[in-house]
Structures are given as structure tokens and as C-alpha cells.
Structure 1
Amino acid sequence: MPDILAATLRSLAFLTRLPPVSRAFSGVHPLGSDAHAFPLAGLVAALPSALAVLLFGAFGLSPSTIAILAIALLVAVTGGLHEDGLSDVADGLGGHHPKDRALEIMKDSRIGAYGALALVLSLMLRASLLADIVATGTGQAALALLAAAAASRGAMAWLWSSLPSARDSGVAARVGQPSARSGRIAAFIGATLLVIAGAIIAGLAGAVLPLLAGLLVLGQFRKFLVRRLGGQTGDCVGAAQQITEIAALLGLALALG
């Protein structure tokens, strides 16, 4: 089995609820070593939602209904993994807690007000932005969904590789941090797919605006993590996926507006 295919299948086993392919797990493969395949795993994870957009569009459903169903399906495929990270980060870093207390809150499985607000806003923004794109055409929306999924997972791999772990325990620390090279490769693949898809969807503006929006929010989020935690956790990596996906969809919606 080709390495990139095996790495993608192993990534899918962690990042989604899709059944694992046993042939891809021969030997020892820490998740961090497969980070370069995260954008491709994102494409696969978003494929059912992209197909749903086309299908429901053919049945004449409204753009808002199509978008909500597509996002719901994407959450179901991923098991809400990244949404969980976003809510934990919002709860831990939403107040003015010192680092140790913030990390303690982020480990708590209970959701607080900041986490609930972050989840609601993330779901609403993604559904609303996708609906705006669906209104211009279901083909464009399906492609946008795939591109945003790939780019945001490249972003999370880069963030994970570019910052030290904020604590010695936790998922991100246990599964092995990606190398800087793996993080750069993942970011490049994700960004390239986003630029190509954006150009197909909305020309030059579609190629530029989503990329700039993603880079801006990811860069600011990284600075925020350095200031508050001095590094990253698995929850932070998941939150990076969420905010970058929103930024990519916003850029594409603006380009089509």
C-alpha cells in the first residue's frame, strides 16, 4: 500500500468515525508522523457532505436547509472531534485564568458558557456561509466544502508541528508531535487545494481571499496560544481546524458576493 494512502487511512481512523482499514496499521505509526496526510483525510471526511449538497440541491431544497444538513453530516462523520476541541478551548481560555487553571478547565468534560457559545457560533457561521455559497450553485458549494475541509486540516497539522506541547500529558503529547517538515507539507497541500478550488469557484478573488482569511485567523490564534499557554494541546489543534474552516468559507462567500 502506498505510504500516502496508508497515512491517509490511519489519519481517518483518528479524525473520523469511519471504520479503520487494518492493512494500513502494520508496524508502529504515531499519528504525528501521518500529519502530512491530514488535508487528504479532510477531503474524504467532507466527501459525504459534498455529495449531500449536490443530492439535496437536485431535490430543490433551500440553500439554508442544504447547508445545515451538510454541516450536520460532516459533524457526524468526524464525531464532533474538532467541535469538542473548540468548546474546551473557549471554556479554558475564554476567561482570564492562569495557564494551569486554563489547562485544568480544558480537560474537564463538562461544557461551560464560553464553550456552548463557541459551538453555537461555529455551527451557525459554517451553515450560514455555506448557504450563501449554495445560493450561487450547488457545485460551487460542494467544492468549497471539500477545499475548506482540506485546508483547515492542513492548518491544524501546521499549528501542531509549530508549537511545543503545553502539557506533558494529553492526546497531542501522547500520539507524537509532527515534524516541522510534515506540518509544512500539510499546510502546503491544504493551501494549494484551497487556492485551486477557490479559483475554479470565483476566479482570482476566490483564490486569494480564502487563503488570506485563513492565514490571518490562524496566525492570530497561534499568537494567542503562545501568549496564554506557551504552546498547544489537542483541543487547540481541533479549535484551529474550526476557525480556519470558518475563515476559508468566509473568504469564498465574500469572493462570490
Structure 2
Amino acid sequence: MNRPLARLRRTLAFLSRYPVSADAFAGEPHPLAADAAAFPLAGCLIALPGALLLWAAVAAGLSPVTAALLAVTLGILISGALHEDGLADTADGLFGHHPRARALEIMKDSRLGTYGGLALILSVLLRVALLAEIAQASAAGGAAALLAAAAASRGGMVALWHALPPARADGIAHGQGRPDTRTSRAALCAAALGLVILGWTAAGAAGVGLALVLALGACAGFRAVLLRRLGGQTGDTLGALQQLLEIAILAGLALSA
């Protein structure tokens, strides 16, 4: 089997609800970290049905807000709300000003708290509103923006995963290994390429530049918080970063669309 294709299929099996046959996992063990260079492309494939739905809905006469809501909803269904779950758990753990051990314990709890609920609501509302702003100027631009944000935000996940040590030894991120420097650079290159090409289509050079600045700021700020509060990253915090980066990228593109 073609190795890059197998890596992409294994990544999609973890990041989405797309069906993947068992032969993609045949042979030696396949820790997710070794396949992480495929995250940006997997993000594009996860967002593609939503991007097409957004374009078709606006073309059919629906308002940009309705079209954006349908697109975001479809993306959540395809991903199985994986990153939304990480955002909610991270918000519950970090915003309560608990000590490190207690914060990690709360993040491992499947129950949804006040901070997690608010984070989910705000994440969905912001993504829908920002996507609608872009789609109002151009339906094709809105579709391209959704793809750009999906690709670049998942590349950012790999970068943070590589940069920070695991905050706990029994977490998902620790069990799946840690991307090496080559894998992290490959993911970042793919993420940057997706942001430049697709973001340029959505909002031009100014939009790409602003989206990049906001994304880098969000990533740096979140990394500092994780180091101070947890001493590293977890699977939940990687999902939370994806949500933060998607919002930051869409905001940059919307401001320039």
C-alpha cells in the first residue's frame, strides 16, 4: 500500500467518522504521531463536504448565516465533535484556577461544566458568524476559508504536540507518541501552503497575513498558558488549540474579505 495514502487513512480514522478499512493498520504498530504530517490534508477532507454545502446553500438562495451554520454543523458531525470535546474539557480544567493535578483530573472527567458549555457555545457562534461574514462577500471565498482554517489549524496541533511534553503519562497524546521535528515541519509546511492558497482565494494577501498573525498569537498565548498551568499538553488541549486557531484564522480572513 502507498505509505502516504495509508498515513492519511489512519489519520482520518482518528480525526473523523469517515470509514477506513482495517488494512490501513496492517503490519507494525502505527502511533498517530508518526502519521501527523497528514493532519492538514485530513483537515481539508473533513471540511470539504461542509465547504461544498456552504457554497451550494448560498447559491440556492439561503442566507450566509444559515449556510455557515449548516457547514459548521456538518463539519462537527464528520469529526465526531472530537476537537469540540477537547475544547470543553480544557475550558473546564483551566478556567477554574485549580492547581495542576486538579485541573488535569477535571479535564479527564467526561461531565460538562459551566466553562466547557460556554466555550462550546462561543466556539460555534464565532465560527458561524465569521464564516458568514466571508460568505456574504463570496460563497466560493467562504468555502475556501473553511478549508484553509481546517488545514492550518490541524497543522498547528502537530506543532504544539511536538513542542510541549505530555502533561500526564496516561493521556491519549502520550500514548500516541510525539511527532518528531521532521514530521512537525512537514505538517507546518502543508498547513502554511493550505492557508496561503485557500486563504488568498478567500481574502487576498492581506487576509492571509492577518490570519497568520492572529493564528501565531493564539498559538503562542495558549502555549504559554499550558506551560504555566499544566507543564505540557494533553489530547484535550490539542483539540482546544484547533478550535482557537480555526477561529483566529477565520477572523483574519473575515476582516479582509
TM-score greater than 0.5 by the shorter chain: yes
Greater than 6 Å deviation, 4+ residue runs: none
Tell me the amino acid that sits aligned with residue 34 of structure 2.
Answer: S
Q: Give the TM-score, by structure 1 length.
A: 0.97
Tell me which residue corresponds to 1:24.
Answer: 24
Q: 2: distance between equivalents of 1:168 and 1:135? A: 46
Alignment map for 1:218-233 (pairs within 5 Å): 218-233=219-234
Of residues 181-190 and 115-124 in structure 1, the stretch that sits farther from structure 2 once superposed is 181-190
What is the CA distance between 1:211 and its match in structure 2? 1.0
Contact 1:162 1:180 in 2 (8 A): no
Tell me which residue corresponds to 2:255.
Answer: 254
Tell me the amino acid that sits aligned with residue 2 of structure 1.
Answer: N
Q: 1: distance between equivalents of 2:217 and 2:112? A: 28
Q: Deviations over 1:182-206 (max 9, x none)?
A: 1222122112210222222222202
Contact 2:208 2:252 in 1 (8 A): no
1:84 aligns to 2:85 (yes or no): yes
User: Equivalent residue of 2:137, what SS?
Assistant: coil
1:46 aligns to 2:47 (yes or no): yes
Tell me which residue corresponds to 2:38.
Answer: 37
Tell me which residue corresponds to 2:216.
Answer: 215
1:8 aligns to 2:16 (yes or no): no
Tell me the amino acid that sits aligned with residue 74 of structure 1.
Answer: G
Contact 1:17 1:78 in 2 (8 A): yes
Q: 1: distance between equivalents of 2:18 and 2:190? A: 22
Tell me the amino acid that sits aligned with residue 19 of structure 2.
Answer: P
What is the CA distance between 1:181 and its match in structure 2? 2.1
User: Equivalent residue of 1:135, what SS?
Assistant: helix
User: Equivalent residue of 2:167, what SS?
Assistant: coil
Structure 2: runs of 5+ lacking an equivalent: none
What is the CA distance between 1:54 and its match in structure 2? 1.6
Q: 1: distance between equivalents of 2:23 and 2:148? A: 28
Q: 1: distance between equivalents of 2:245 and 2:2? A: 29
Contact 2:203 2:254 in 1 (8 A): no
Query: Matched residue pairs, number?
Result: 256
Q: 2: distance between equivalents of 1:203 and 1:194? A: 11
What is the CA distance between 1:21 and its match in structure 2? 2.8
1:67 aligns to 2:68 (yes or no): yes
Tell me the amino acid that sits aligned with residue 228 of structure 2.
Answer: R
Fraction of identical pairs, as percent: 55
What is the CA distance between 1:48 and its match in structure 2? 0.6
Q: 1: distance between equivalents of 2:81 and 2:181? A: 27
Q: 1: distance between equivalents of 2:106 and 2:203? A: 42
Alignment map for 1:78-157 (pairs within 5 Å): 78-157=79-158
What is the CA distance between 1:22 and its match in structure 2? 2.7
Q: 1: distance between equivalents of 2:8 and 2:54? A: 24
What is the CA distance between 1:95 and its match in structure 2? 1.5
Structure 1: runs of 5+ lacking an equivalent: none
Q: 2: distance between equivalents of 1:84 and 1:202? A: 30
Compute the RMSD of aligned alpha carbons.
Answer: 1.0
